[in-house]
Structure 1
Amino acid sequence: MAQTSLEQTDLSPRREALQLWIPLGIVLLLTLVTAFLLTGQYQIAAGKGIVQGLGEPLPISSSAHLIVVPWFFDWQDPFFQTQTFDVALHMGTLIALLLFFWRDWLNLIMHMHQPRSQQGRMFWFIVLASIPAGIVGLLLDSLAEEYFLDKYLVIAGTMSIMGVVLYIADRFAPRRYELSDLTWKHALLVGCAQALALIPGVSRSGSTMTMGRALGFTRETAARFSFLMAIPITFGAGVLKLRDIDSSQLTAPFWLGISVSFVVGALAVGFLLRYVRTNSFLPFIIYRLVIAAVIVAVYLAR
């Protein structure tokens, strides 16, 4: 299932189309099951697992969706509406990323003591890129959690703005750089973009891919580096947020949410890595603008 090599495999158009769209059909089926068969905490946990699994790898902002989707459906629960559970869901997508990139990371770690080698240099570039988000997260995470919890119009604004910025970067920036062309300046700029993901609607993958494209990297390279960067920052957030979780909260719905996040996340990662080889980010940009309009409409209607 995992494809971690930088080498690409030629596929017939029909087979490639099937590999692209069948996973999304599975996600749709999971969504229908969640909507019509599950109830109570199981529905909330699985629903948010789907949201996280799709929103983390795709440039559409999982944090924004984890706020607005429960608001859309009026989901109410004292634990499953907390950031602690949202971070737990990130562990599902973290495992999905490791499924695809564990060989890459093993190779990076094995060469970390050789900073002049390509793999060793990449390891330290990722460390450098993780510093801005780590600092901002430690300083402002709690403040951002409280501020954005019910700022639906702000989220609509950030969804729209980042959609436009992504469009401009993807449409007009050249596509000439690969991972081997990455420098410490590139890594630091992408890392600073990752720090902006503390704002719901910006999207960690969206901001890093946007910066990667703005710097002239190909879509696939921007996506791959974004996914490699996601692993240490997500792991660090999980260690900080989940170390004090109460064992009584480790219920069946809790594990269901993480499991769904993992399955959907794996499908989404595989989909995006194949999709960006030959396609633009335009569908995600359109989606951002549409969901922003829906947020505004629901807000005004209520």
Structure 2
Amino acid sequence: MSYFEAFILALIQGITEFLPVSSSAHLILPSAVLGWDDQGLAFDVAVHVGTLAAVIIYFRSEVIALLSAFFGSIFKGDRSKEAKLAWMIILATIPACVFGLFMKDIIEIYLRSAYVIATTTIVFGLLLWWADKRSSLEFDEHQATWKKALFIGVAQAMAMIPGTSRSGATITAALYLGFTREAAARFSFLMSIPIILLAGGYLGLKLVTSGEPILIGPLFTGVVVSFISAYICIHYFLKLISRMGMTPFVIYRLILGVGLFAFLLAN
């Protein structure tokens, strides 16, 4: 992998990890259009490290408060709103773990086609538009109940289907449940921490056992670029949705999905 490829792929991953636009739909473009090889396990681990660091550092105050309240709830009986939110995030992570355990191989074999990605990019874009238009926009993330957390968690599990978008699916589910746009995004981003940590750990374990060669330069590029792009993306996404809602991302998804279909049919 060249430094240029590492830069472009890390930039794509960093931006699309937290936007509701599907990272998988974007990551097939370089290989489909430019004929680039698969980036490999080591690079996957690197960009996971970068995006994980970005969301933890951006939400560092919230993360510290949630961790403190979580352990306080175990050892001191803390019943604060932060303790409740921490438990809701953990609960929302469970469906993706179960779904991944039993469905990962099926998804890898049958659902990683470009046609599936193009279809889900469009379908889940329309669902995002529908949820955004009908949402009551009245709840914040601290008002998540166990039923709401599980519902959003199931949406996160469904996002394992390529083209769906993890952030898109979870934000859509939260909007459907009446969360404000900012609260839906924050809950989605905080939910991403344990799931990215688990995914990165799984990929890291596979990397250790695979014996794949590690090229330090491109991997360092992947970590740094994915971190910077993800951090900037989180910051401006939260500002944008408060003014414009989800419509720009819905339009983008529709254009991307139609464009993918046009490219596939032309080739």
TM-score in terms of structure 1 length = 0.81
Deviates more, 1:100-109 or 1:227-236: 100-109
Q: Which sections of structure 1, spanning at least 5 residues, go unmatched?
A: 1-39
| Equivalent residue letter for 2:44 | D
Question: Deviation at 1:46?
Answer: 1.2
In structure 1, how many angstroms separate the alpha carbons of the residues matched to 2:220 and 2:110?
Answer: 28
Is 1:95 equivalent to 2:60 in the alignment?
A: no
Is 1:225 equivalent to 2:187 in the alignment?
A: yes
1 or 2, which has the higher helix percentage?
2
Deviates more, 1:40-49 or 1:190-199: 40-49
Contact 1:176 1:218 in 2 (8 A): yes
**Deviation readout 1:185-236 (Å, 9 max, x if unpaired):** 1111101100011111110000000000000000000000000000011001
The equivalent of 1:37 in structure 2 is: none
Q: 2:137 aligns with which of 152, 169, 175?
A: 175
Deviates more, 1:164-173 or 1:243-252: 243-252
Aligned residues: 259
The equivalent of 2:81 in structure 1 is: 118
Contact 1:53 1:260 in 2 (8 A): yes
Deviates more, 1:274-283 or 1:183-192: 274-283
Contact 1:66 1:86 in 2 (8 A): no
Question: Deviation at 1:250?
Answer: 3.7
Identity over the aligned pairs, expressed in percent? 39
CA gap of 1:141–1:293, structure 2 versus 1, over 3 A, is same
Q: Which sections of structure 2, spanning at least 5 residues, go unmatched?
A: none
In structure 2, how many angstroms separate the alpha carbons of the residues matched to 1:91 and 1:143?
Answer: 26
Is 1:45 equivalent to 2:10 in the alignment?
A: no
Structure 1 residues 205-284: aligned runs within 5 Å: 205-245=167-207, 246=211, 248-284=213-249
SS at match of 1:174: coil
| Larger RCO (alpha carbons 8 Å, 6+ apart) | 2
Is 1:133 equivalent to 2:96 in the alignment?
A: yes
The equivalent of 2:253 in structure 1 is: 288
TM-score in terms of structure 2 length = 0.91
Question: Deviation at 1:87?
Answer: 4.2
In structure 1, how many angstroms separate the alpha carbons of the residues matched to 2:90 and 2:37?
Answer: 38
CA gap of 1:212–1:83, structure 2 versus 1, over 3 A, is farther
Q: CA RMSD in A?
A: 1.7
The equivalent of 1:67 in structure 2 is: 28
In structure 1, how many angstroms separate the alpha carbons of the residues matched to 2:3 and 2:103?
Answer: 31
Question: Deviation at 1:60?
Answer: 0.4
Contact 2:94 2:153 in 1 (8 A): yes
Is 1:58 equivalent to 2:19 in the alignment?
A: yes
Question: Deviation at 1:141?
Answer: 2.4
**Deviation readout 1:120-163 (Å, 9 max, x if unpaired):** 111110000000011112222243234344x1111110000001
In structure 1, how many angstroms separate the alpha carbons of the residues matched to 2:155 and 2:194?
Answer: 16
CA gap of 1:280–1:209, structure 2 versus 1, over 3 A, is same
In structure 1, how many angstroms separate the alpha carbons of the residues matched to 2:206 and 2:132?
Answer: 41
